Amino acid sequence: MAEPPFAPQSFDLLWCESAIYAVGCVSALSGWRRLLRTGGSLAFSELVWLTDEQTVEAAAFWAENYPQMTDLAGVRADLAVSGYRLVAEFVVPQEDWTDGYYRPLATNFASFKRRHAADLLAMRTLSDQRREMALVERHHGAFAYAFSLLFPLIKEGC
């Protein structure tokens, strides 16, 4: 993700769903900009704080698991620094996260545990996922994914 092996101006649309954290927002956006054709756009979702007052539990969890997490204003600042214009954004409803991702994932936990019971890393990953799911349920409204649609800014003289 940090250095996609594609020629410049290869895409009309780049789409990154809930994974930009792996590279970092500014790094990813800056690096991917070269991949967009003239008139192309970039769509992505990013985990953001929705409130200025986080609970100790939520703040500690995300400090450990995603220390770069910011709020919508922080994401907008990252877009500007990376050379993009925000076209549209919305906060993804929590049900999309819980019903569309967690519930289907949870249906596989028992079989995953049976298959990987001897693998300490797999069991830790499973435990971490359960912890995250519980945190999302307990702190509804404190954080969510924000979806953004962007156009690269056109440099003068280009």
Q: Are 142 and 50 in contact (CB under 8 A)?
A: yes
pLDDT in tens, 73-92: 999 999 999 999 999 999 99
Q: In whole angstroms, what is the distance from residue 76 CA to residue 48 CA?
A: 11
The Cα–Cα gap between 117 and 101 comes to: 23
Q: What is the pLDDT of residues 105-133, one digit of tens each?
A: 999 999 999 999 999 999 999 999 999 99
Question: By the 8 A CB rule, do 97 and 144 touch?
Answer: yes
Instruction: Report all structural domains of the chain as residue ranges with CATH numbers, in order of start.
Output: 11-92+140-152 (3.40.50.150)
Identify the pLDDT of residue 155.
Answer: 59
Beta strand residue intervals within 21-158, DSSP E? 36-49, 70-71, 84-91, 143-152
pTM confidence score: 0.86
